[in-house]
Amino acid sequence: MAIANPAIAFEGKTVLVIGGTAGIGEATALCFAAAGANVVIAGLGAPQGRAVAAACSAYGLGEALFIETDVRQESQVQAAVQRAAQRYRRIHAAVNNAGIEGRFGPVQDATAEDFDEVIGVNLRGVWLGMKYEISHMLAQGGGAIVNTSSSAGLTGIANVALYTASKHGVVGLTKAAALELAQSGIRVNAVAPGPVDTGLLHRMIAGKIDVGVIAAGVPMGRISAPSETAQAILWLCSDAASFVTGHTLAVDGGMTVR
């Protein structure tokens, strides 16, 4: 018989999902909405963002709000956090999920512009989210933050060196911040998804590798659904994970076990 876990309830709480307009971020927003949270979705693509917010409102018990945000622009990230805090008074949990795939190919073929673009979104963008989320949570007495890394943040993956470097950086940021904040009531963790059925994966491998080949390389023999990573994020943000900080949870079908 299944036993309900009251620690996974988010009624009356507010969650900010940066990079919440598609893929894992969209699934995460819906997951928190289903758990009863007020969900603030920040990201690019206003039509999609508004659609996700509407779906959250229809699906969950709380409210949902979309704020168009480019994580490469510090002022926009700061404004998104401030607007969420002003609307709901407190941000109980935040998810930093915005990311891009970058160029596929040998590391020496990448340009300085390629490097700046990938690091600017995948690493600097996560840091900017953390910067303003942490400041708010310190003033409010605590919270939980989850950053989206990747299985590429736990191992090396050929032909996506810049993406791999950015996702390793997310793991490092997560660990350092967790230590700094361990006695402040703020927990900081990360998830490391393996291949997920999202636009990012399909753009990354388009014309280069068949998705079936990717699935065959996963010990569980398949790629995952975005909701599987979203459920891991939900748990890490919840009181059920109250003694977990500085951890990067692999959600990768066993890829990084080898």
Clarify whether 184 is annotated catalytic: no
Catalytic residue among 149, 150, 151, 166: 149
Assigned token pair, 252? 């990768």
Clarify whether 88 is annotated catalytic: no
**Letter for the amino acid at 195?**
P
C-alpha 211/C-alpha 91 separation (Å) is 38
Catalytic residue among 163, 166, 224, 238: 163
C-alpha 181/C-alpha 228 separation (Å) is 28
Catalytic residue among 13, 88, 167, 238: 167
Nearest in space to 133 (alpha carbons), one of 38, 241, 248, 16: 16
Burial 227-236 (b: 16+ CB within 10 A, else e): bbbbbbbbbb
C-alpha 39/C-alpha 228 separation (Å) is 19
Exposed/middle/buried for residue 109 (C-beta within 10 Å: 0-12, 13-18, 19+): exposed
Which residues share a beta bridge with 17? 41, 95
Q: Which helix (H) or strand (E) holds 66?
A: strand 64-68
Clarify whether 151 is annotated catalytic: no
DSSP 106: -
Catalytic residues: 149, 163, 167
